[in-house]
Amino acid sequence: MSDKIKKTVTFPATYESLAAISKFVIAAAEAAGLSDKATYGLQLAVDEACSNIIEYAYEDLEAQGITCTCRVNDRSITITLRDEGRPFNPKDAPEPDLCSPLEERQVGGLGLYFIHQMMDEVRFSCESDGTNVLTLVKHRS
Amino acid sequence: MDYTLEEFKHCDLLSVSGRIDSQTAPELAEALDDILDQGRYNIVLDLNDVLFISSAGLRVLINTQKQCKRLNRGEVVLARVPERIYEAMDLAGFIPLFEIFDDKVHAVGYF
């Protein structure tokens, strides 16, 4: 299906970029006509994914960039995040703890949990040139 | 992210605005730690003007709640939680961990 909108921006891989990345995502979600709730969910998923890239993929490497592509067609909005950091294995992430009492509550794994809760499709891949690609899809209906 | 602090007799009211993400969560943690460092453990966090909170921000809330509730010395309560943020907190299983009020007056009056 052909894209009605396609935009790509590369942001420096630092926490300072998170607000600008959110603005980019919100603009795309509004152009796609997503509801407030779906727009917030998309913003949360992308923010968590970018925070993970900055914190883990580029942990002790010289920070490079996160290339964010947004595509909108009649059925869905797709955000693709590309980085050149360490590959991410979702199996390495801790399971989220959603119900332990306060004193035992662990807070790891919530970011990845939010990504899966907010998006309809989540795909991690690593290209032959070492680029990590995270694809996040939200259906428009 | 910005915040303002008001001290009441029985609690401190921290009103936060803007985004609480990986960039700004440490600033919120510092503001809350400053309150705890004064031996004050009853805190109302007014989230009315918060536009966004990520898991990094939720970590700050839960870590502060753990410190306040230790030894029964106090508690963090939340006031005016925006709908989208409430939904994210609900997904994360945070709702049972905090008293939540629709307005600041009742939140402050809780203490």
Q: Total structural domains in chain A?
A: 1
- Of the candidates B47, B41, B1, B4, the one whose C-alpha atom is nearest the C-alpha of residue B24 is B1
C-alpha span between B91 and B74 (Å, rounded): 25
High-pLDDT (> 70) share of chain A, %: 99
> Hey, what amino acid is at A126?
C
The answer to whether B99 and B4 are in contact (CB under 8 A) is no
The answer to whether B4 and B15 are in contact (CB under 8 A) is yes
Q: Which of residues 41-80 of A touch B (CB under 8 A)?
A: 43-44, 47-48, 51, 54-55
- Find the closest chain B residue to A51 by CA distance: B22
Q: Which CATH number fits the domain that encloses residue A121? A: 3.30.565.10
**What does the DSSP assignment read for A11-34?**
EESSGGGHHHHHHHHHHHHHHTT-
Q: Which CATH class is domain B2-109?
A: alpha beta
Report the complex ipTM: 0.95
Q: Tell whether A20 is within 8 A of chain B (Cβ).
A: no
Provide the shortest C-alpha distance from residue B20 to chain A (in Å): 10
For residue A17, give its domain range: 5-139
Mean pLDDT, chain A, rounded, equals 92
CA angle B15, A97, B30 (to 5 degrees): 30
What are the pLDDT digits (tens) for B39-96? 999 999 999 999 999 999 999 999 999 999 999 999 999 999 999 999 999 999 999 9
Instruction: Give residue A94's pLDDT.
Output: 87
What are the pLDDT digits (tens) for B5-24? 999 999 999 999 999 999 99
Find the mean pLDDT for residues A39-47.
Answer: 97
The answer to whether B63 and A105 are in contact (CB under 8 A) is no
> Hey, what amino acid is at A6?
K
Confidence band of B34 (pLDDT split at 50, 70, 90): very high
Q: Where are the domains of chain B?
A: 2-109
Tell me which of B1, B20, B22, B95 to substitute to probe the interface with A (most A C-beta atoms closer than 10 Å). B22
- Find the closest chain A residue to B56 by CA distance: A111
Confidence band of A89 (pLDDT split at 50, 70, 90): confident
Instruction: Give residue A138's pLDDT.
Output: 95
Does the pLDDT value for residue A63 go beyond 70? no
